[in-house]
């Protein structure tokens, strides 16, 4: 082996030979560059999918993907698609995907959906190309403070200093991503650390198990439950998967405690045969009304209910001042075990939970009101569906009428940055090719990352994209008055209005290779949805109410 290669010093030794610089042989000895050592490390660490939008500085990584078995590569035509899809993949597979992003601006384009993924605690490894280390001082156009861009949307950030360190840095990134409950790890890869000679791939440590909650937390929660005082068990994270919910259901059946989730959840398993939970409402007044009689809230992975925004005349925390908070489990602790333990402690282990019966609403007809839309969904959702929900105002009331559909997973936006729905569904469908995936999106949200449709078409993903075309930032019409901004005039209302011209979603979908249909009444929506469910591959339904 040659020694660790400096900037060009191996070149002199190879002078005059024709070499493949990416992974070359010299006098029978095979060399590996930094990029390949990284790809091999990632694959060895269980990373099987790379969502990518690469550029020049990532070409060695791209080339290495060809030489390493076991990494599926998925191209997105905008970086928000890339990170939103990696989020959906992580939520459904429980594993980190990697992303491949082009310098500071590529990362910046990815950042809004990284913000969402960070708030959802989805594990993810971002590989961000950078100029060669010696090129940085010349302020070429794409030079930017990549670490500065990465930090607000990452839990872990590192710039690899040279090719021999890349593999170990990659291993640390995968480990960081898998620290419970899941983290965003961003590794910045200067071009010369990708193309210079590297060492072997590095081993990745297996993720450590979730820590058990302390016994005192169980005892305290049990004491509250036994007190008979009005109590809410607020569940989040792993607690909203079927097993956790079953324990919560047993506790509820035995003690009479109310069980809810917060409004937004990274993943909630629901439907027939499962213990069904209501959500704390989005609207502050409704939340306060629903929670007004509780004397205690036991937090099982959840944060206390907080308003999405501040309003001049409403509180930030949506619970009565007199309500006491008790922490059963943190989000990164073993919430499911804590619920099981609590069930045991209160004597509920053998109590049967009240399970949601299969109960589909009757099919509506005529006008597509919000409830009619919800009823069609509730009537048609197939078993094991995945719902990526960014339906904003239209979907505020989807929960009750879909609760009795066959079992399904419901994924929401945890960071509030719109433009997640279509990419999230894209990644979820890629993780679960045997299941039907539905993206529910407002038209305003869907416009942010509509490029996801192209990736769905290319990969043949079974996603039904349902776009609620109310042709406005409808939520803001309400918010304008809720924040007390006064009577809006034409100029203000224009900022919330998506007409002039109307968006034609069927045309835009066609432009990206996805078949679309526009529906304007309940019957045609039902027909279109059933056709999508019977079919395969991506489709789009524009719901014009």
Nearest distance, CB of residue 219 and a copy of itself, angstroms:
28
Which CB sits closer to a copy of itself, 21 or 531? Answer: 21
Closest CA to 405 of 244, 538, 223, 273: 273
In whole angstroms, what is the distance from residue 212 CA to residue 334 CA?
5
DSSP H/E element including 88: helix 79-93
Which CB sits closer to a copy of itself, 359 or 502? Answer: 502
**Cβ neighbours of residue 231 closer than 8 Å, sequence gap 6 or more:** 224, 225, 257, 258, 294, 295, 296, 297, 298
Which CB sits closer to a copy of itself, 76 or 361? Answer: 76
Residue 14 binds a copy of itself, judged by CB under 8 A: no
In whole angstroms, what is the distance from residue 38 CA to residue 61 CA?
8
Residue 70 binds a copy of itself, judged by CB under 8 A: no
Which CB sits closer to a copy of itself, 336 or 509? Answer: 509
Closest CA to 237 of 141, 144, 336, 93: 336
Q: Which of residues 107-126 bind a copy of itself (CB under 8 A)?
A: 108-109, 111-112, 115-116, 119
Part of the chain binding a copy of itself (CB under 8 A), chosen from 178-186, 199-207, 271-279, 312-320: 312-320
In whole angstroms, what is the distance from residue 324 CA to residue 283 CA?
21
Residue 399 binds a copy of itself, judged by CB under 8 A: no
Q: How remote is the C-alpha of 542 from its chain's centroid? A: 23
Q: How remote is the C-alpha of 187 from its chain's centroid? A: 19
Nearest distance, CB of residue 215 and a copy of itself, angstroms:
28
Residue 151 binds a copy of itself, judged by CB under 8 A: yes
Task: For the beta carbon of residue 18, count every other beta carbon within 10 angstroms.
Answer: 6
Which CB sits closer to a copy of itself, 140 or 206? Answer: 140
Q: Which of residues 127-146 bind a copy of itself (CB under 8 A)?
A: 131-132, 134-135, 138-142, 144-145
Q: Which of residues 334-363 bind a copy of itself (CB under 8 A)?
A: none
Q: Contact with a copy of itself (CB under 8 A): which of 416, 433, 527, 536?
A: 416
In whole angstroms, what is the distance from residue 64 CA to residue 196 CA?
13
- Cβ contact 221:342 at 8 Å: yes
Which CB sits closer to a copy of itself, 30 or 491? Answer: 491
- Cβ contact 320:292 at 8 Å: yes
Residue 312 binds a copy of itself, judged by CB under 8 A: yes
- Cβ contact 273:407 at 8 Å: yes
Residue 483 binds a copy of itself, judged by CB under 8 A: yes
Nearest distance, CB of residue 493 and a copy of itself, angstroms:
9
SS (H, E, C) 341-361: HHHHHCCCCCCCCCCCCCCCC
- Cβ contact 120:415 at 8 Å: yes
Q: Which of residues 177-236 bind a copy of itself (CB under 8 A)?
A: 191-192, 195
Q: Which of residues 50-69 bind a copy of itself (CB under 8 A)?
A: 52, 54-57, 59-60, 62-63, 65-67
Residue 537 binds a copy of itself, judged by CB under 8 A: no
Residue 475 binds a copy of itself, judged by CB under 8 A: yes
Site map 261..290 versus a copy of itself, x via CB under 8 A: ---x--------------------------
- Cβ contact 421:441 at 8 Å: yes
């Amino acid at each position: 082996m040659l020694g660790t290669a400096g900037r060009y010093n191996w070149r002199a030794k190879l002078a005059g030979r024709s070499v493949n610089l990416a992974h070359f042989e010299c006098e029978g000895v095979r060399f590996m560059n930094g990029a390949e050592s990284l790809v091999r490390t990632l694959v060895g660490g269980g990373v099987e999918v790379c969502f990518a939008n690469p550029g020049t500085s990532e070409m060695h990584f791209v080339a290495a993907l060809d030489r390493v078995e076991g990494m599926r590569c998925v191209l997105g035509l905008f970086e928000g698609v890339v990170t939103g899809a990696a989020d959906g993949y992580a939520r459904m597979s429980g594993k980190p995907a990697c992303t491949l992003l082009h310098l500071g601006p590529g990362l910046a384009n990815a950042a809004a959906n990284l913000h969402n993924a960070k708030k959802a605690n989805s594990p993810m490894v971002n590989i961000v190309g950078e100029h060669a280390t010696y090129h940085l001082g010349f302020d070429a156009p794409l030079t930017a403070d990549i670490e500065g861009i990465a930090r607000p949307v990452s839990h872990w950030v590192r710039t690899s200093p040279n090719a021999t360190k890349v593999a170990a840095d990659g291993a640390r990134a995968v480990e960081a991503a898998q620290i419970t409950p899941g983290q965003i790890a961003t590794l910045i890869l200067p071009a010369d650390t990708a193309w210079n000679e590297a060492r072997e791939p590095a081993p990745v440590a297996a993720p450590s198990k979730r820590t058990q909650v302390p016994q005192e937390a169980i005892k305290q929660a049990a004491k509250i439950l036994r007190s008979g005082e009005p109590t809410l068990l607020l569940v989040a994270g792993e607690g909203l998967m079927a097993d956790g919910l079953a324990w919560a259901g047993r506790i509820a059946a035995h003690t009479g405690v109310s069980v809810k989730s917060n409004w937004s959840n990274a993943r909630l398993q629901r439907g027939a045969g499962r213990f069904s939970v209501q959500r704390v409402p989005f609207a502050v007044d409704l939340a306060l009304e629903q929670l007004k009689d509780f004397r205690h809230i036991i937090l099982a992975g959840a944060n206390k209910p907080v308003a999405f925004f501040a309003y001049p005349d409403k509180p930030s925390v949506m619970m009565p001042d007199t309500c006491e908070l008790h922490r059963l489990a943190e989000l990164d602790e073993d919430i499911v075990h804590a619920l099981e333990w609590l069930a045991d402690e209160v004597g509920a282990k053998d109590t049967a939970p009240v399970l949601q019966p299969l109960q589909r609403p009757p099919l509506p007809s005529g006008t597509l009101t919000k409830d009619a839309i919800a009823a069609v969904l509730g009537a048609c959702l197939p078993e094991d569906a995945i719902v990526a929900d960014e339906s904003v105002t239209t979907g505020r009331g989807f929960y009750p009428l879909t609760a009795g559909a066959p079992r399904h997973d419901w994924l929401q936006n945890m960071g509030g940055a719109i433009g997640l729905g279509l990419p999230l569904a894209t990644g979820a469908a890629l993780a679960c090719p045997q299941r039907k995936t539905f993206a529910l999106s407002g038209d305003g949200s869907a416009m942010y990352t509509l490029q996801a449709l192209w990736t769905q078409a290319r990969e043949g993903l079974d996603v039904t994209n349902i776009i609620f075309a109310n042709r406005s930032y409808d939520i803001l019409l309400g918010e304008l008055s809720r924040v007390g901004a006064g009577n809006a005039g034409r100029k203000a209302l224009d900022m919330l209005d998506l007409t002039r011209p109307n968006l034609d979603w069927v045309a835009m979908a066609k432009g990206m290779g996805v078949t679309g249909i526009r529906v304007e009444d309940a019957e045609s929506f039902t027909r279109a949805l059933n056709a999508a469910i019977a079919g395969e591959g991506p489709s789009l339904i524009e719901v014009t109410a």
